[in-house]
Structure formats: structure tokens, C-alpha cells
């Protein structure tokens, strides 16, 4: 990691490091998030088991919470690794090397993707509900799909968190030697 950063222009490296937390700060933040999501995961597992044994109608809701918290826990636990900080540092330095027009274009595309994802997350359950249970309000369709929404939103957030290391690994696979 050091050899790559030393070969970059000094201005880029200073710009990246100026606005970035230290590895210890990031490790602490991800540790706190891992502990919080781990505790929530344990509680949701216990509640899901209790709901299954009681044959409650809320089993799907608690199962969705369990899946969502497990995604959060594993993303936070993975982000504590030192390779994650190196990948984020590499992504940020590549971001600062881009021209202002390229960064604006990338932000606009990101905003469009986020809007499309939100439309898909909330629109798809409503449209499916309209076909399966016609005659209800859109809010009723959204409430019926609530367990799925928790998992649907946890997956892209975990992907955004881990995208730095995923890109770095993909780049390493493509590099010869």
C-alpha cells in the first residue's frame, strides 16, 4: 500500500489524507457498529425463535430483521480489516485524480441509481401487491411488503460499504503477474 501511495503526486495524497479519518478511527467506528449490530442480531434471533415457537403471525417480520441485522453485522465486521482502509484510501485518491466534470458526472449517475433503487424498493412491492390483492391502498401494499423492505435496503447499503474492497479484489484478479 505504501509504495502505491508514494508513487502518486503529493497534492493528491495530501488531499485524500486531509479529509479522511485515520485507520484507528475507522476501526473504532466499525467496531462500534459491529457490536451494535451483533447485539441487535442476537436479540432478533431470540425474538424470531420465540415467535416461531409461539406460532405468531409476526414470524416473517422478525425473520426479516434477523437477515437485515446479519447483513449489517458481517459488513461491519469485514470493514474492520486493514485491507478495507487501504482500498478506501486507493478509491479516494483515484477520485481526487479525476477532473471536476468527471466527479460531477459520477455524482449525478450515483444520484440517479439511488433514486432508481428507492423506486424499485418501494414501487415493486406496491405493484406486485396491486396484482395479487387488488382494491387496497398503496400504503396497505407497502405494509404487507414491510418484512421484505428491511432486507431489500440492507443489501445495497452493505454493498456500498464493501465496494472498495470488492473493486480492489477485482482489479487484482485482472492484473497479470
Q: Where are the domains of the chain?
A: 2-97+145-174
CA distance 44 to 51: 10
41 near 69, Cβ under 8 Å? yes
Q: What is the pLDDT of residue 29?
A: 83
Q: What is the pLDDT of residue 67?
A: 87
Residues 6 or more apart whose CB falls under 8 angstroms from that of 160 comprise none
Q: Where is mean pLDDT largest: 101-105, 126-130, 131-135?
A: 101-105
**Beta strands per DSSP E along the chain:** none
CA distance 75 to 159: 8
CA atoms within 13 A on the CB side of 115: 6
Supply the DSSP symbol for 56: -
pLDDT digits (tens, 9 = 90+) for 97-127: 788 888 889 889 988 988 888 787 777 777 7
17 near 102, Cβ under 8 Å? no
Specify the residue for cell string 441487535.
Answer: 40
Q: Higher model confidence: residue 177 or residue 89? A: 89
Amino acid at each position: 500500500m505504501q509504495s502505491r501511495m508514494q508513487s502518486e503526486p503529493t497534492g493528491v495524497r495530501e488531499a485524500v489524507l486531509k479529509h479522511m479519518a485515520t485507520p484507528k478511527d475507522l476501526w473504532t467506528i466499525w467496531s462500534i457498529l459491529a457490536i451494535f449490530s451483533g447485539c441487535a442480531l442476537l436479540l432478533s434471533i431470540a425474538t424470531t425463535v420465540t415467535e416461531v415457537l409461539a406460532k405468531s403471525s409476526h414470524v416473517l417480520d422478525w425473520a426479516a430483521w434477523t437477515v437485515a441485522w446479519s447483513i449489517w453485522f458481517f459488513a461491519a465486521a469485514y470493514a474492520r480489516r486493514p485491507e478495507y482502509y487501504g482500498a478506501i484510501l486507493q478509491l479516494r485518491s483515484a477520485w481526487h485524480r479525476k477532473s471536476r466534470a468527471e466527479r460531477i458526472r459520477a455524482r449525478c449517475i450515483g444520484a440517479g441509481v439511488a433514486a432508481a433503487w428507492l423506486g424499485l424498493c418501494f414501487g415493486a412491492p406496491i405493484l406486485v401487491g396491486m396484482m395479487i390483492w387488488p382494491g387496497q391502498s398503496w400504503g396497505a401494499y407497502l405494509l404487507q411488503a414491510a418484512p421484505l423492505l428491511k432486507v431489500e435496503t440492507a443489501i445495497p447499503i452493505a454493498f456500498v460499504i464493501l465496494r472498495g474492497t470488492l473493486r480492489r479484489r477485482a482489479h487484482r484478479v485482472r492484473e497479470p503477474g
